[in-house]
Amino acid sequence: MSILITNIKELLQVREAGILKVTGSEMKDLPTLENAYLLIEHDTIVDYGTMENCIGITADETIDATGKIVLPTWCDSHTHIVYAGNREQEFVDRINGLSYEDIASRGGGILNSAETLQNTDEDTLYRQSIARVENIMQLGTGAIEIKSGYGLTTEAELKMLRVVKRIKEEYPIKVKATFLGAHALPKQFKDDKQGYLDLIITEMLPEIAKHQLAHYVDVFCEKGYFSLEDTDQILLAAKQYNLIPKIHVNQFNAFGGIALAVKHGALSVDHLEELDLEDITALKGSNTMPVALPSCSYFLSIPYTPGRQIIDSGLPLALATDYNPGSTPSGNMNFVVSTACIKMKLTPEEAINAATINGAYAMGISTEYGSITKGKKANVIITKNIPSYNYLPYAFGDNHIDQVLINGERI
């Protein structure tokens, strides 16, 4: 099966193979082709060019994209999309004056979601999760990282990761799995944190490795959750199973977690709403991608990650949703891109780079995803008729997507 998309008003993020991320001032450039075509065979991009060179190219199906923009699908490198139930009561509690921390300290928050998930059977958890996955594919997301961390028992963590595996097998969207056992301290370990760390290290990690249920390991490195020492222990143990770190860090406090993550060769450090100069210094010269989650800042009314400062310091930046029931009940990357422009002062070019090629890098898949490149997966968004790509973040809150192709399949 081949598809030829013709008369594309502007084809975005057109790159040669071998570019795995864009950094600092490079992020200002978004390479594009005007009046272009794109040729897809099966699940792969095989050719592109300007319309004058399209003569003689044929395919099983042709899509006329006159007036439309085509870009790679979003690469959402940080989600907790597999969860049970919702937490809308906590949302109302926050409106009425409680803080996110207040709710967590009275046993709500992550522990609330963990209890619901433990009491939800695997098929129900799968059905609730795929409804979200189907929705985000319609919204233009073609690759996603999914974390565990709402199980907090060996059985429930494995249940979450089996659901992630099932999504990976049954949906065309690219899925990468991350083990986040160290997301919160379960009630039964309230006075025995080391006991829970031991459970993660001696029971959860070996089981997950045995069944090959995760590529990455994550820790919520934060005051009141897991300290630098706790994080160090888990990352050392995870290294024995070749799990690469992607760390929740600097959401509420900056206390050296970024340097620790970099020391452990983290692929990404995520959140960074609180960031100091030592953090920037630690990231310089590393291969670790900083990841901003502006929908989380929006929903919790906490500071936005200083993305402008990160890019102006010569660092790369990725954007992701953080889709989860507590801090970001939204998986809409279009909103993330708009919010990054509006609130973090990224240019549209920077935001699109951050949400495609750099997002792919932050989940280790940028050799195959994140740009319009010959040989990469045919994951593309075809917009409605819009005046320019600036219109995508500008006209926020509206759906500018006409069609989405993932692995060359219409969604």
Residues found near ligand NIG in the complex (CB under 6 A): 109-110, 113, 220, 248, 251, 296, 322, 324-327
Closest distance to Fe ion from the beta carbon of 302 (Å) = 13
The entry of ligand NIG, Fe ion, none that residue 327 binds, CB within 5 to 8 Å by partner kind: ligand NIG
Q: How far from each other are the two terminal CA atoms of the chain, in whole angstroms?
A: 16
Comparing CB distances to ligand NIG, the nearer of 107 and 387 is 107
Closest C-alpha to 152, from 103, 106, 193: 193
Work out how close the CB of 110 gets to Fe ion at its nearest, in angstroms, rounded to a whole number.
Answer: 10
CB of 268 to Fe ion, least distance (A): 11
| Shortest Å, Cβ 331 to Fe ion | 12
Selection from ligand NIG, Fe ion, none that 296 binds (CB < 5 to 8 A by kind) is ligand NIG
Nearer to ligand NIG, 112 or 371 (CB): 112
Least Å distance, CB 87 to ligand NIG, is 7
Rounded CA-CA distance 276/274 in Å is 7
Local structure of 246: helix, strand or coil: strand
Q: Which does 215 bind (CB under 5 to 8 A by kind): Fe ion, ligand NIG, none?
A: none
Give dist(CA 250, CA 225) in Å, integer. 12
Is the Cβ of residue 72 or residue 151 nearer to ligand NIG in the bound state? 151
Distance CA 154, CA 172 (A): 28
Q: Which residue is nearest to ligand NIG (CB)?
A: 326
Beta bridge partners, 143, equal: 75, 174
* Contact mark string toward Fe ion, 314..353, x via CB under 5 A: --------x-------------------------------
Distance of CA 88 to the CA centre of its chain: 23
- Cα–Cα distance for residue pair 88/90, rounded to 1 Å: 5
Measured from the CB atom, the residue of 292 and 380 that comes closer to ligand NIG is: 292
Residues 6+ apart with CB under 8 A from 301: none
Nearer to ligand NIG, 302 or 401 (CB): 302
Nearer to ligand NIG, 69 or 289 (CB): 289
CA atoms within 13 A on the CB side of 170: 13
Evaluate whether 266 touches 248 at the Cβ level (below 8 Å). Answer: no
Distances (CA, A) of 224 to 190, 199, 383: 11, 19, 44
Q: How far is the CB of 126 from ligand NIG (least distance, A)?
A: 19
Instruction: Report, in this order, helix, strand and coil percent for the chain, each rounded to 5.
Output: 35, 25, 40
Report the nearest approach of ligand NIG to the CB of residue 248 (Å).
Answer: 5
Left, alpha or beta for 105 (phi > 0: left; psi -120 to 50: alpha)? alpha
Task: Output DSSP code: residue 288.
Answer: P
Query: Residue 334's binding partner, choosing from Fe ion, ligand NIG, none, with beta-carbon cut-off 5 to 8 A by kind?
Result: none
Beta-sheet strands, E only, within 222-376: 244-249, 268-271, 289-292, 318-319
Q: Which does 326 bind (CB under 5 to 8 A by kind): ligand NIG, Fe ion, none?
A: ligand NIG
Are 367 and 19 spatial neighbours (Cβ–Cβ below 8 Å)? no
Neighbouring CB atoms inside 10 A of 287's CB total: 14
**Which residues lie below 8 Å from residue 242, measured CB to CB, with a gap of 6+?**
none
* Contact pattern from residue 282 through residue 321 relative to Fe ion, giving x for each residue in contact according to CB under 5 A and a dash for the rest: ----------------------------------------
What is the smallest separation between the CB atom of 349 and Fe ion, expressed in angstroms?
26
Which of residues 113 and 233 has its CB atom nearest to Fe ion in the complex?
113
Shortest reach from residue 12's CB to ligand NIG, in Å: 29
- Nearest approach in angstroms of CB 324 to Fe ion is 6
**Cα-Cα-Cα-Cα dihedral sign, residues 75, 86, 193, 225:** positive
**Residue 400, contacted partner among ligand NIG, Fe ion, none, CB below 5-8 A by kind:** none
- Give 358 or 403: the residue with its C-beta nearer to Fe ion: 358
CB under 8 Å to 210, separation ≥6 — which residues?
none
Residue nearest Fe ion, CB atom distance: 322
40 SS3 class: strand
Nearer to ligand NIG, 251 or 383 (CB): 251
74 binds, among ligand NIG, Fe ion, none (CB under 5 to 8 A by kind): none
Report the partner that residue 110 touches, choosing among ligand NIG, Fe ion, none (CB closer than 5 to 8 A by kind): ligand NIG
Residue closer to ligand NIG (CB basis): 73 or 113? 113
Query: Within positions 128 to 187, which residues make up the interface with Fe ion, using CB under 5 A?
Result: none
Can you give the binding site for Fe ion, defined by CB under 5 A?
Answer: 322
